[in-house]
Structure 1
Amino acid sequence: MKNYYNSHDVKRLLNLNSLRTAQLRVKTMNDDLKAMGYWVERGKVPIKFFHEKYPYVELPEKESKYLSSAI
């Protein structure tokens, strides 16, 4: 079961051309989490938080089945 997206996943999900742009998006989301008092995993963002920030991006099939059972 996967709990985090890395920058390669974010690049693929957002159809970005640059890995650096995906890394910056992950860093920004981690900065938001850190400001809310959470511990962050550098270079990774929790799947649930990613989809709160980008609700229009659909969950891949295998992640959606795990997240819906955890909610």
Structure 2
Amino acid sequence: MYDFLTPSDIQDILKVKPSKAYSIIRELNNEMKKDGYKVIRGKVNKKKFEERYIYNSVG
């Protein structure tokens, strides 16, 4: 399933301001463009976001 996150979602998850949420989306979408993916402006792939920003403690 292909889930996307909006700036509002990122604000809720990371407790950041709207401008920071948009900055994160631009950063991640630019990474995806460099890897050859098409992106949706104003949204980011949930899996890509979780790879970069969600850390699980081990043990």
State the alpha-carbon separation in 1 of the partners of residues 42 and 51 from structure 2: 18
Matched, 1:32 2:5: no
> TM-score when scaled to structure 2?
0.85
Structure 1 partner of 2:7: 7
- Quote the offset at 1:2 in angstroms: 6.8
State the alpha-carbon separation in 1 of the partners of residues 24 and 11 from structure 2: 9
Superposition RMSD on alpha carbons, in Å? 1.7
Query: After TM superposition, where is structure 1 displaced by more than 3 Å over at least 4 residues in a row?
Result: none
Gaps of 5+ in 1: 58-71
Q: Say how many residue pairs are matched.
A: 56
The answer to which structure, 1 or 2, has the higher relative contact order (CA under 8 A, 6+ apart) is 2
Query: What's the CA shift string for 1:18-67, capped at 9, x where partnerless?
Result: 1011001101000000011000000101111110011327xxxxxxxxxx
Query: In percent, how many aligned pairs have the same letter?
Result: 32
> TM-score when scaled to structure 1?
0.71
Gaps of 5+ in 2: none
